Chain A
Amino acid sequence: MASAREAVIGFGRQTAKGTPLAVPKFEIAMGGGHAAPTRNVEELPWTNESQDVLGHYVNLIGGTVSLTGLPVLPKSCVALWNAALGALATSGASDPYDHAVTPSDDLDWHTFFYAEPGGLYYTVPDVKISTLTLNWSPGQPLTLDLGGTGGEAVPSDTKWGAATVTEAVDPFFTYIDAAMKIEAATTPAATTVHNIASGNISVNRNVEPIQTDGISYYDQVEQKREISVSLPDVVFEDNAFRRTVLTGTSSGTEVSSVPTYGSTLFVFPLSDGTATTSRKLQVALPRLLWATEPIDADPAGGALRYSLAGNASKPTSGAIATVSVLNGDTGANY
């Protein structure tokens, strides 16, 4: 018997399409999901004086990356954010090094490696990450979900060679003692709040794989960059934020006819209590259009909570999103 626990994931940035890595740059523990081959099979679209299906054909062989609950670790998370955003600037003459990830119009090609429970090892080349979601909830480690498409995946019964960095799962970035700053109508975010329970930030690059004359994808094209924050579980303290979202000010009496833009700045610490001056994950969204739902009556009562959702748009200057990671890694592996 084998256990579903017996899995691990690896990945790394390629220099270009068609040049897959032989070994991962990073190997980390994983929550759920897979990186594995896909094969699309279609029915033969003809008839031949028969009501029976005549047969099938394979119209696409590729690879899928669908990973959930990845640990957010000090080194490898930089590479994962870069996979979804596309530009990484590393600065600092010594530890701590500051890795600032911002958007690029193109994304890097990646190779993903997956040890499937049961003993098959897959290499998925030419992957572009289309979706990334950072999740947090009370008292829990942060997690990342990733989605993307790749080229023709290769199965093997032997594991890949040693990764450049096999990153320990502890310490990890956590929601405990995070500094959550949000603003309803100003930027940059400066007000720290403590009433956000769970939430997530999502990056969707809407990558479109394109098949031409081959059996696998010829190319993948990035399209609209959508970045959003979802706070579905905010503990009610007062109406100021929601009222500002609706009216433009905390005491407004008329629903505003123009959008009001706010912002967020979230700083997540490491689980080992390292000061955020030397280790941190920071996500800044400087221009957010917030939306809030009416609070429904509930005869059962309970603590009052409400939801907020923010959609990012391009600010006057700077990036739509900046993810900064402080760690002890010079960045040679990114």
Chain B
Amino acid sequence: MAKVAKAEPNAVLRIAHGGVSHTFDFGDDGTRQVTQAEVAALESYQRNGGALKVEVSDKKGAK
């Protein structure tokens, strides 16, 4: 199922994970659809006490 990450509007998050640099630009509405690899990067970020609060949830209506 597709996932959506939500954070502070206009926040930009960069995480080195899995050998690549992931960049999350949350834009004006503070949300961004994320892939499985990006979800793993966000989970790692939160495990390490990342400063930006990010919530990952299932995308409404997605299958």
Contacts and interface: CB of A to CB of B under 8 A. Distances in A.
A complexed with B: yes
A87 B13 contact: yes
A102 B21 contact: no
B21 A317 contact: no
The 6 closest A-B pairs by CB, nearest first: A319-B49, A89-B52, A100-B51, A108-B16, A318-B49, A86-B16
B47 to A, nearest CB: 8
B10 A87 contact: no
Interface string B12-27: 1111111111000000
B20 A89 contact: no
Contacts of B48: 87, 102-105, 319-320
B19 A17 contact: yes
B31 to A, nearest CB: 15
Given A14-B21, A91-B10, A104 B15 contact: yes
Contacts of A317: 49
Given A91-B8, A91-B11, A331-B12, A102 B49 contact: yes
Nearest to A98: B51
B20 A105 contact: no
B17 A89 contact: no
A93 B10 CA distance: 7
A107 interface: yes
A228 interface: no
Given A105-B48, A319-B48, A319-B50, A87 B14 contact: yes
Interface residues on A, range: 20 to 34
Interface of A: 13-17, 82, 86-93, 100, 102-109, 314-315, 317-320, 322, 324, 331, 334
A100 B16 contact: no
Contacts of B11: 89-91
B44 interface: yes
Nearest to B48: A103
Contacts of B8: 91
Nearest to B47: A105
Interface string B23-63: 00000000000000000000011001111100000000000
A86 B15 contact: yes
Given A86-B16, A106-B17, A106-B19, A315 B49 contact: yes
A93 B26 CA distance: 12
A261 to B, nearest CB: 16
Nearest to B14: A88
Nearest to A222: B16
A175 to B, nearest CB: 24
A182 to B, nearest CB: 20
A108 B21 contact: yes
